[in-house]
Amino acid sequence: MKRTEQKGPEFYWADAIKRREWWGMLNFRYPKYFAPWLHLATTFEAYRELCQGEYPQIEETACAHTYWQNRPLVTYDRLTDNEAFYVDFKEGNQTYYEEMRSHLSKAALYSGTLFYLMGINVPQKVLLPLIFGIDFAISSISLLKPFDRYGYDTDAYFVQSHAWLKGDTNYTRLSSAQGPTFYPPGHLYHYAVVVKLLEASEEYGTILFRSLNTALHSATLYIVGALAFMLFKKTPSTAQLICFMLAANDRMRIMNEYAFNDILLLIYAALAFYFLAKGRPLLASLMFSLSLSIKTGIYMAAPPFFGMIHYGFGPKNLFLSIFIIFAFQVLLALPFTWDPAAQLLGYPQGAHTTISEFFYYSNLIPGQKGKTLFAICDVSYTWTFLPCDMYDQPLVDGTGFLLKLQPVCLLVHVYYFFFVQGTLGGCIMNLLQFKKPKFTFRSRRKAIESLVVLTVISVSFLPGIHVQYQMWYQDFLPIFLALTGLPMLACAQLFVDVFPHIDWAVQ
Q: What is the pLDDT of residues 127-153, one digit of tens each?
A: 999 999 999 999 988 777 655 567 768
- The predicted-structure confidence for 394-403, as pLDDT tens digits, reads as follows 554 555 666 6
Residue 40 lies in a domain: no
pLDDT band at 387; cut points 50, 70, 90? confident
* Cα–Cα distance for residue pair 277/189, rounded to 1 Å: 28
Question: H or E segment at 108?
Answer: helix 94-118
Q: Is the omega angle on the peptide bond into residue 31 within 30 degrees of 0, that is, cis? A: no
Q: Calculate mean pLDDT across residues 228-254.
A: 93
Residue 211 lies in a domain: yes
Considering the chain, what is the average pLDDT of its residues? 79
Residue 308 lies in a domain: yes
* Cα–Cα distance for residue pair 60/40, rounded to 1 Å: 16
> What is the residue range of 361's domain?
96-498
Residue 227, pLDDT > 90, answer: yes
Residue 258, pLDDT > 50, answer: yes
Q: Please, which residues bridge with residue 88 across strands? A: 148
Q: What are phi and psi of 436, to 5 degrees?
A: -85, 125
* Cα–Cα distance for residue pair 217/223, rounded to 1 Å: 10
Residue 68 lies in a domain: no
* Cα–Cα distance for residue pair 387/331, rounded to 1 Å: 44
Residue 440 lies in a domain: yes
Q: Please, which residues bridge with residue 180 across strands? A: 175
Instruction: Give the residue among 26, 68, 28 at the shortest CA–CA distance from 50.
Output: 68
pTM of whole model > 0.85?
no
What per-residue confidence (pLDDT) applies to 17?
Answer: 37
- The predicted-structure confidence for 334-357, as pLDDT tens digits, reads as follows 999 999 988 888 888 888 888 888
Residue 134 lies in a domain: yes
User: From the CA atom positions of the chain, what is the Rg in Å?
Assistant: 25
Instruction: Give the residue among 135, 92, 409 at the shortest CA–CA distance from 247.
Output: 135
* Cα–Cα distance for residue pair 487/494, rounded to 1 Å: 11
Percentage of the chain beyond pLDDT 70 is 74
* Cα–Cα distance for residue pair 378/386, rounded to 1 Å: 11
- Whether the CB-CB separation of 97 and 35 falls below 8 Å is answered with no
pLDDT band at 221; cut points 50, 70, 90? very high
- Whether the CB-CB separation of 291 and 180 falls below 8 Å is answered with no
Give buried/exposed letters for 361-389 (b at 16+ CB in 10 A, else e). Answer: bbbbeeeeeeebbbbebeebbbbeebeee
Instruction: Give the residue among 416, 420, 423, 455 at the shortest CA–CA distance from 439.
Output: 423
Residues 6+ apart with CB under 8 A from 274: 223, 226, 227, 284
- Whether the CB-CB separation of 185 and 259 falls below 8 Å is answered with no
Query: What angle do the packed helices 202-231 and 250-257 form, to 10 degrees?
Result: 140
Question: H or E segment at 333?
Answer: helix 302-337
- Whether the CB-CB separation of 361 and 181 falls below 8 Å is answered with yes
Residue 45 lies in a domain: no
* Cα–Cα distance for residue pair 179/160, rounded to 1 Å: 10
State the DSSP string of 413-476: HHIIIIIIS--HHHHHHHHTTSS-----HHHHHHHHHHHHHHHHHHHHHSS---GGGGGGTGGG
Domain count, the chain: 1
Phi-psi region of 189 (alpha: psi -120 to 50; beta: other; left: phi over 0): alpha
Residue 483 lies in a domain: yes
What per-residue confidence (pLDDT) applies to 65?
Answer: 55
Q: Calculate mean pLDDT across residues 14-35.
A: 39
Instruction: Give the residue among 469, 32, 404 at the shortest CA–CA distance from 261.
Output: 469
Residue 92, pLDDT > 50, answer: no
Residue 382, pLDDT > 70, answer: yes
